[in-house]
Amino acid sequence: MNQAVKKERIYYYEQHKVIDTMLDDLHQGLSKPQKALSPKYFYDQTGSQLFDQITELPEYYPTRTEIAILKQHASEFVDLLGKDSILLELGSGSSLKIRILLEALKPKIYVPMDISKEHLIASAQQLAEDYPWLEVHANRVDYSQSWEIPDFGPGRYNAFFPGSSIGNFDPEDACKLLSQVAKLVGNNGGLLIGVDMKKDSQILEQAYNDSAGVTAQFNLNVLNHLKQRLNVKVEPENFQHKAIYNPELGRIEMHLISQQDQTITVDDQSYTLKKGETIHTESSYKYSVDDFHQLVARAGFKPEKVWVDDDQLFSIHYLKVSRS
């Protein structure tokens, strides 16, 4: 971990050089029979801004449903997580949800973690300004690599992982990530996590194919991000967004469909796509409560409590580390 850069009550840690793996990831993804891109490359500054817009769309139920659950049960979170803890947040994007917890829990240290440097710093600065008592340790983290947090000494550690972002990992990788979180928070620690639930496929597909086309812009922007960061020749306008629910795997799949025979060039390597061929850009797994409890048990957590909205759209789970 690089040494922290301090600005008043904000500390910033650069754990990875994202460019180091981006090129390899791109070559590997485009070499597969089903071409693929890692969803972590959605989140440049433009992508993060577009995702914030997605969360406000009428079709996109997860954000408003999760916020409603958080507001309704804030006092219960205080009882379970305690005050004056060290609060970690995985995927520090919009600060809407974390503000509910910050105001309820009053943690002594807040540790946001995100892959988007610009979004992470902007969010940290705004929260430090709005909460003068809060000490912020912002960490740029790539969850696909090994990572750690600073040693804050003794105290109770809790993690917050909102937005059903755990669904962007296949179950095996999700288990590995949750195991890492369990190690970070320790034996007395806990995890508050949002999980999107299995439901009617029409509701799911509408959420990822909004009528305003913002999700399509978000999906296509990954190509612009790669062009800006690497020596990549690709024409985003030659692709079309598509999102479908795969009932066998219990996940939404986002794809970019090639609208013509074309070539993507990365440095001196060319990759051909036929018309109709797709690049798989993201999966979003959906879980029943029982399915998710089975997953977290493998990762070293035990379920303590779960909250579900009346329409059975979304769940929030509080998990404790299983003592070995």
* Tokens, residue 250: 């219990």
Dump pLDDT digits (tens) for 21-64. 889 999 999 999 999 999 989 988 899 889 989 999 999 999 99
First-to-final CA distance of the chain = 28
Q: Supply the pLDDT for residue 44.
A: 86
DSSP secondary structure code for residue 236 in this structure: G
Among 287, 294, 295, CA closest to 316: 287
Q: Supply the pLDDT for residue 141.
A: 86
Q: Supply the pLDDT for residue 118.
A: 81
Dump pLDDT digits (tens) for 139-178. 988 887 778 888 898 889 999 999 999 999 999 999 999 9
Q: Supply the pLDDT for residue 185.
A: 95
Q: Supply the pLDDT for residue 293.
A: 98
Q: What is the mean pLDDT of residues 226-240?
A: 96
Q: What pTM, to 2 d.p., does this model score?
A: 0.92
In DSSP terms, 88 is beta-bridged to: 111, 159
Q: What is the mean pLDDT of residues 112-131?
A: 88
DSSP 131-199: -TT-EEEEEE--TTS--------SS-EEEEE-TTGGGGS-HHHHHHHHHHHHHHH-TT-EEEEEEEPP-
What is the rounded CA–CA span in Å between residue 76 and residue 82?
10
